[in-house]
Amino acid sequence: MRLIKVDPRALKENPDRLRQTKSTPQADALLLATIKAVGIVQPPVITSEAGGSNAYIIYAGHRRVKQAIAAGLDEIDVIVDEAANDNGAMRSMVENIAFEPLNPVDQWRAIERLVALGWTEEAIGVALALPVRQIRKLRLLANVLPAMLDHMARGDMPNEQQLRTIAAASLDEQKEVWKKHKPSKADPQVSWWSVAQGLQKTHMYARHASFGDDLTRAYGIQWVEDLFAPADEDSRYTTNVEAYLGAQHEWMANNLPKKGVIAETTNWGEVKLPAKAERVHGKPTKSDCTAMYLDREGRVQTVHYRMSEAKKSKGKAAPDAVSAPDDVGVVSKPRPDVTRKGIEMMGDYRTDALREALGRAPVEDDTLMALLILAFGQNVSVTTGSVGFHNGHSRLAKHTAGLFDGDGKLAFDMDTLRISARAMLIDVFSCRENATNSGIVARIAGATIGADEFLPNMGTEDFLSCLSRPALEASCKDTPVLPRQRAKDTRAALAEHFKEGRFVHSAALFAPDPTKLSEWLSSNASAADDADETDEDVDGIRDELADGDAATFREAAE
């Protein structure tokens, strides 16, 4: 054998090479980056072409030669070997079968040597065609007990999270846990999960703390730097969980809003609201209450809620009423596409969007008049979304103040009238699923002024968890997201896809169901025909308005 320099373009491919399958573009790109960074580490092996010509055939290293040409190298080092009678087919096969990559522990030792020589993790990643994350994971082994390292070198490696937990513990702690869980002749495999559990400590992070330095000192909290966390985030933590949670609770007590409570959580980490409380998923109003609580990671979270109205009894059951027999089978109903919580969330979203549209969207004067008639034709009691049933009239009266002059006479311009009309509609209309719901008229109003454009992004874990599996998979349509085997994986993929975009579920759109709209219009028409038929003056006025305001009303409704 001898080492020579040749032009890679002058080398010929071996027709009998073992690897005939093309490599992936990703693998070729990584090899090209390596060659550009450090050159060809292991020279290709070539043999002289049969027949005594000066041409050379590649025996081993076809990909290296190809990527050297792509890198623009004029010359590369190659090893010239004697040609075998089978064109090296057997030797090539033995080389590929017998080749064994370095185990992770040996890789780590090689990486540490490169670091000692001045290489950065990024440069090592490029040279070895390894992700920087993999380089950092391997470097965690520097903090592992030598006895554990010896076992890992045999190929039995923990996963990354377990390795991080082990590396974060002191060597004395690792030694104690290893005594209990080290392999034996009867059981040569190690339960790395058990090892990690034995070393697991709950870390409460400074970046999640709402309290400041004063409470930190008062509770004796000492922050420790997490050396294995990404460098671009505050990685300080404490294992003194009791002191950390105590400081968080004291901060909540000192910063509790006027209508606020400190709430507990369920075993699943969900907040426990007071009895008969309805959670507000949209923008809270002044009359809403606030609940503060700690999540599973010790972070302060805030939710808003309102107390529901007490429902009046519609009457006692008749004494002679016959109860249903006990042996009647109950057929379970399939889960609806959207759960009750989801419907409530959509109601809040619609109300916020409708109010924003009424404040910002362009609305013509005739449409504004139609909406006022629509609102007060349905909301006879003037039930509003932001105030209680009984004081609705007093709250709405504020919108009339700007229509009068100093002498108490009506005096206004069109701009003032438009502002007052919009403000009145904002207070009257509500789509919330409670006593303030304005019903179908609010949906009609929202569809008329294009309030769909003001609906928020519903592609969140909170809302997507309210969808059934069929509805969730249907939401994948027109997206690159494919349904997963588990619904929660599909939900997570959709939430990630829509994180920077916008998703609005079809059930949340304002346009009401055509059948229900037709029924509502028919019932209103019947009521109008039956009302006060003997009053000829009123009938005459209604006939005169039929071609004007009534047409506008029907146009807005449709």
SS (H, E, C) 294-316: ECCCCCEEEEEEEECCCCCCCCC
- DSSP states along 256-298: --TTEEE--B-TTS-B-PPTTEEEE-S---TT-EEEEEE-TTS
> Are the C-beta atoms of 346 and 337 separated by less than 8 Å?
no
Among the residue ranges 288-297, 314-323, 500-509, the one predicted with the least confidence is 314-323
Helix 121-128 to helix 25-38 angle (10° resolution) is: 120
Mean pLDDT over 321-344 rounds to 61
Q: Express each pLDDT in 238-276 by its tens digit.
A: 888 888 998 999 999 899 988 889 998 886 778 888 888
Q: 211 falls in which pLDDT band (50, 70, 90)?
A: very high
pLDDT tens for 458-489 read: 999 889 988 988 888 888 888 888 888 788 88
Model pLDDT for residues 7-43, shown as the tens digit of each residue: 888 888 876 665 555 677 777 787 888 788 778 878 8
- In the chain, what are the domains? 2-98 (3.90.1530.10), 259-308 (no CATH), 340-455+504-515 (no CATH)
Select from 198, 197, 195, 110 the least CA-distant residue to 156: 195
**Residue 98 clears pLDDT 80, i.e. is over it:** no
pLDDT of 59 > 50? The answer is yes
The more confidently predicted of residues 417 and 404 is 417
Res 315: pLDDT: 52
Rounded CA-CA distance 439/429 in Å is 9
Q: How far apart are CA 458 and CA 452, in angstroms?
A: 12
Half-sphere exposure of 384 (CA within 13 A, CB side): 21
Mean pLDDT over all residues of the chain?
77
Q: How many residues does the chain have?
A: 558
pLDDT at residue 280 greater than cutoff 80: yes
CB 45 within 8 A of CB 76: no
d(CA 321, CA 400): 52
Task: Confirm whether pTM is higher than 0.95.
Answer: no
Helix, strand, or coil (residue 60): strand
Mean pLDDT of 160-186: 84
